[in-house]
Amino acid sequence: MKDHHVVWRLALACAAVFAGFAEASAAIDLIPMPVKVEEREGTCPYDPGKIDYIADESVPKEGYRLVVSPEGVKVFASDDAGRFYAGETLRQLAKRISESEKVVPCVEIEDAPRYPWRGFHLDECRHFFGKETVKSMLDLMARYKLNRFHWHLTDDQGWRLDVPGYPELVRYGAVRSASVRHRCWASTGSKEDADKLNGTRYGPYFYTESDLREIVAYAAERHIQVVPEIELPGHVYAALAAYPEFACFPENLAARDPRLVWGIESDVLCIGNDRALKFMENVIDWTCRVFPGDVVHIGGDECPQERWKTCPKCQARIKAEGLKDVGDLQPWVTRRFVKFLEARGKRALGWDEYLLGDIPKSAIGMSWREDRVGAGHELVSGAAAAARGHDVVMTPTSYCYLDYGQGLKEDPFTYIFGKITLERCYSFDPCAGVPEEARRHILGGQGNNWSEYTWNEYDLQWKAWPRMLALAEVFWLGERKQGYADFERRARIHRGRLVASGINCAPIE
């Protein structure tokens, strides 16, 4: 058993040498490219019902060894995910040779992911996509061996969860009386235009518990863990529209409407109000029961502190807890929720700002900023968080934000700003700048789709694909990736398949 392990490690370490086999072969157009591919003469009929599965504890987690010979197909794996990914590789390898017959080339593959976190993030608050779009995205994620669906379900502009016991959440939080009229202030060049409203009611749009359980099960069948995000203490305006008493100044929420324009809202959760904290605990407790995964995202980004400065309850909290000032309130509430999740056998995940202060090491960071942007809080870089002993998922704005432009000559869709080309995505290294000794804390990365300027499935697909192909290969291979030229060759083939299957995939120029 031990010897096998050494062989595996050697195989993975020698990836660069082995990948030469794959590069030499035009027939092997897999994405992500496996770690080691050896092509042989001949083919084997493709029949998913006739695969010989062999348990092999020497194969790493989520990995597989696939042996296709004219006699049949053998899959060696130590877990179900590995068996599943071998099946996905076979599906990609299979070629149709007649109306009713497919074959796979004879091949020997050894494969295992570099990173355990290979994610895609979807914001359903600014615009809502619905179950069918989510399922279609989960199908594509599985095809490319992505395994974490980070679902952004609560924000200033919309609350998408029908939580038992809190009927006002969807009554008020899941519907906006209007949205911004212009497709993008960046393209009008006028900040004034940015906030003009269209007068059109948006919603109510939300998921019931049974919808959520259906999506969780659908994802699990594809070896994808759903990571729900419940934002706190900022980005909660839609919840405050439902329950104004949980704001520092309830009178600011008199309209009972979520925030109508994009951007960051100043009215946030009142940290001094025990009932507000109890509300969040009840929501997160329910979330823990509906989502069986081991991680819950609790937001933490872009939380302005100005309301806390003049709120008597928040000031009383600072006194009672011996805190220095309002700057200590977010770390205080973060610690409380990290522990709340620990008590339920879960780990907290949050955007980099939530790691400011003394936060328990079980808390996972999601590194998005490379600079001090957003609400202006001091940056906690992914490298710094990892060096402090936090596990980190890397999602920097300059590589992983799918709502940024993709640098196409012509593009009918609107973006928030920036330019992240397909090649730029491919050049992403989640461990770049992270000290050697802290790299074991880098769990992987994720492509993020924020939906201020993404209205529907067609728009979403265009922004996600083909860039998610590049990120999927980065997360699977890491340092072992073989270069953009060969990736681009394969990406063109996959784009053709995506388009043929009805996916609105952007061109590769």
Residues labelled as active-site residues: 155, 235, 302
Nearest-approach distance from CB 324 to Zn ion, in angstroms: 17
Token pair for residue 507?
């061109």
Nearest-approach distance from CB 299 to ligand ACM, in angstroms: 8
User: What, of Zn ion, ligand ACM, none, does residue 313 touch, CB below 5 to 8 Å by kind?
Assistant: Zn ion
Helix (H) or strand (E) holding 473: helix 467-477
Token pair for residue 162?
């029908």
User: What, of ligand ACM, Zn ion, none, does residue 302 touch, CB below 5 to 8 Å by kind?
Assistant: ligand ACM
Binding residues vs Zn ion (CB under 5 A) = 248, 270, 272, 311, 313-314
Nearer to ligand ACM, 110 or 302 (CB): 302
| Residue 77 exposure: Cα atoms within 13 Å on the Cβ side | 22
Which residue among 156, 267, 302, 473 contacts ligand ACM (CB under 6 A)? 302
User: What, of Zn ion, ligand ACM, none, does residue 119 touch, CB below 5 to 8 Å by kind?
Assistant: none
Number of other CB atoms surrounding residue 455 within 10 Å: 17
Nearer to Zn ion, 281 or 371 (CB): 281
Burial 251-271 (b: 16+ CB within 10 A, else e): eebeeebbbbbbebbbbbbbb
Nearest-approach distance from CB 365 to ligand ACM, in angstroms: 12
Nearer to ligand ACM, 162 or 302 (CB): 302
Q: Which residues neighbour 139 within 8 Å (Cβ) at sequence distance 6 or greater?
A: 222
Q: Amino acid identity, residue 214?
A: E
User: What, of ligand ACM, Zn ion, none, does residue 125 touch, CB below 5 to 8 Å by kind?
Assistant: none
Cα 296-299-304 angle, rounded to 5 deg: 160
Alpha helix (H) ranges present in 347-388?
382-387
User: What, of Zn ion, ligand ACM, none, does residue 248 touch, CB below 5 to 8 Å by kind?
Assistant: Zn ion
Q: Is 151 in the site for ligand ACM (CB under 6 A)?
A: no
91 vs 68: CA distance, rounded Å: 13
Nearer to ligand ACM, 121 or 222 (CB): 121
Nearest-approach distance from CB 347 to Zn ion, in angstroms: 28
Nearest-approach distance from CB 460 to ligand ACM, in angstroms: 17
Q: Amino acid identity, residue 369?
A: R
3-state secondary structure 96-141: ECCCCCEEEEEEEEEECCCCCEEEEEEECCCCCCCHHHHHHHHHHH
User: What, of ligand ACM, Zn ion, none, does residue 351 touch, CB below 5 to 8 Å by kind?
Assistant: ligand ACM
Nearer to ligand ACM, 118 or 369 (CB): 369
Nearer to Zn ion, 221 or 306 (CB): 306
Instruction: Determine contact, residues 484/423, Cβ cutoff 8 Å.
Output: yes
Nearer to Zn ion, 35 or 241 (CB): 241
Q: Amino acid identity, residue 129?
A: F
Nearer to Zn ion, 144 or 246 (CB): 246
- DSSP letter for 429, please: -
499 vs 507: CA distance, rounded Å: 10
Helix (H) or strand (E) holding 239: helix 237-242
Residue nearest to ligand ACM (CB): 301
User: What, of ligand ACM, Zn ion, none, does residue 162 touch, CB below 5 to 8 Å by kind?
Assistant: none
Calculate Rg over the CA atoms of the chain.
24
Among 384, 478, 390, which residue's Cα sits nearest to residue 430?
478
Which residue among 301, 328, 391, 459 contacts ligand ACM (CB under 6 A)? 301
Cα→Cα distances 240→258, 312, 446, Å: 8, 18, 29
Nearest-approach distance from CB 374 to ligand ACM, in angstroms: 6
Nearest-approach distance from CB 179 to ligand ACM, in angstroms: 19
Nearest-approach distance from CB 368 to ligand ACM, in angstroms: 4
248 vs 263: CA distance, rounded Å: 20
> From residue 346 to residue 375, what is the string marking binding to ligand ACM with x (rule CB under 6 A)?
-----x----------------x-----x-
Provide the binding-site residues for ligand ACM, judged by CB under 6 A: 301-302, 351, 368, 374
